[in-house]
Structure 1
């Protein structure tokens, strides 16, 4: 069964957000673990948590994904920035695990001049103080576009992070179609080759989720600008090819496209129709 959803705002509460997922005719969702550009987070009442769990259970939601805030930079050499990131990842692993969220994804971070090797070392230290190994949740490293000093544009970066972590069994990968395309992985003309490289470097068993986004920017641009499915440089047929691929089709897909709720509902309906006709 196709598992597809979109990124949802939880400003009105997690139970109401889950109800909105049902209205969209989606069967999963991605939420921010806290304010995406700040530090605050909501504390849910027992009643709201219970209602949320009831909705996801009754409607057969697939694996849910929480996204750490963009303000978190575990690769930073600046003490204040790094300590904030360490606190966020530690708290959010515990909070999302307690909610029964299956995955927590984060952008590995930007080394801002100290170099990829030192940035990766910082990320590993940050993960090691956050992941105990006793959690049910899996922390996902996101593939990135490689803008500026961003870490994660090469599969090898993600392998180095996971290989160095104390609990690699609790770490997986989220593939973002816009990001890998912008990073120079040709998912339009050579998806099989990209997946073979992913398997060689990381292992396909580590791939747990897909951010399904088109790209406003051209191949290899190293610029992260999402477009609605079929309205960018990747194109509809290539993205449908991602969803149909036997290696990927059973993974959960999360849309991060620049649309409102109604637009996302229509986008999900269109993708289901296109896939059912193939």
Structure 2
């Protein structure tokens, strides 16, 4: 079946997110591990986690895709910001073990005019500092649109990060359809070619999740402006090919479209109707 969900609020805890996902007819979801703009994380309630795990097992939930805060920049120019990023990720990964075996997605960061190579070195250094052999969580590098000094604007930059990490078996990639389109990958007219390039450079076995978003902008715009499904420049037909592609069909798809509860429910229903059994 199509494994699909949306971003939900962690404010009420895991069980509440699970119930909301079910109300949306979803079988996975994403959530920010703490305020997306940074700050202290909400305390984890063991009884809440236990209730959620029972709910998820009963309803066959796919893997969850947690998201690091946007303010976490592992390759910031200021050391104090890199320390914040390292401490935040380390804490988040410990918290993720309460719900073992899921995904933790993050934006690789912005090198802030230090240069791409320096940015890649700093990101890899953080990953080498926080990844541990016993963790069950897979950390996902997200494909980026390439605005400003973002690192991860192409598959080669993500590959370069992976190559510098010792425990690279703990790493994967989350492909964001809006981001790769805005980065210049034509997933409308040559999605097979884009995936073939991903496989050649990174390896499709590293592709673990998809952020399914339309884009307000043209291919190669480097702007990162999400649109509702079928209302942007990528379009419904192309996004339907994404969810039905043989290499991706079993992955969790997460909607990050500008929507409310009813909007997400409508998009999930639409995409389920387009999934070919």
- Structure-2-length-normalised TM-score: 0.98
**1:189: which partner in 2?**
189
Map 1:20-39 onto structure 2 (within 5 A).
20-39=20-39
Note the C-alpha offset of 1:77.
2.0
Note the C-alpha offset of 1:46.
2.0
Cα deviation digits, residues 102-137 of structure 1 (max 9, x gap): 100000000001000001110011111110121111
Note the C-alpha offset of 1:205.
0.6
1:110 and 2:107 correspond: no
| Structure 1 unmatched runs, 5+ | none
**1:122: which partner in 2?**
122
Q: Aligned partners of 1:98, 1:9: CA distance in 2, in Å?
A: 18
The answer on whether the counterparts of 2:2 and 2:275 sit within 8 Å (CA) in structure 1 is no
Q: Aligned partners of 1:261, 1:115: CA distance in 2, in Å?
A: 40
The answer on whether the counterparts of 2:131 and 2:167 sit within 8 Å (CA) in structure 1 is yes
Map 1:1-278 onto structure 2 (within 5 A).
1-100=1-100, 102-276=102-276
- How many matched pairs? 277
Which stretch of structure 1 is more off in the superposition, 244-253 or 225-234? 244-253
Cα deviation digits, residues 177-232 of structure 1 (max 9, x gap): 00000000000000011011001100011000000000011110001110010000
Note the C-alpha offset of 1:101.
5.1
The answer on whether the counterparts of 2:174 and 2:211 sit within 8 Å (CA) in structure 1 is yes
Q: Aligned partners of 2:83, 2:154: CA distance in 1, in Å?
A: 26
RMSD of Structure 2 on Structure 1 (CA):
1.0
Which stretch of structure 1 is more off in the superposition, 139-148 or 128-137? 128-137
**3-state DSSP of counterpart to 1:98:** coil
Q: Aligned partners of 1:192, 1:216: CA distance in 2, in Å?
A: 22
Q: Aligned partners of 2:222, 2:154: CA distance in 1, in Å?
A: 11
Which stretch of structure 1 is more off in the superposition, 267-276 or 105-114? 267-276
| Structure 2 unmatched runs, 5+ | none
Q: Aligned partners of 1:12, 1:136: CA distance in 2, in Å?
A: 24
- Structure-1-length-normalised TM-score: 0.97
Note the C-alpha offset of 1:60.
0.8
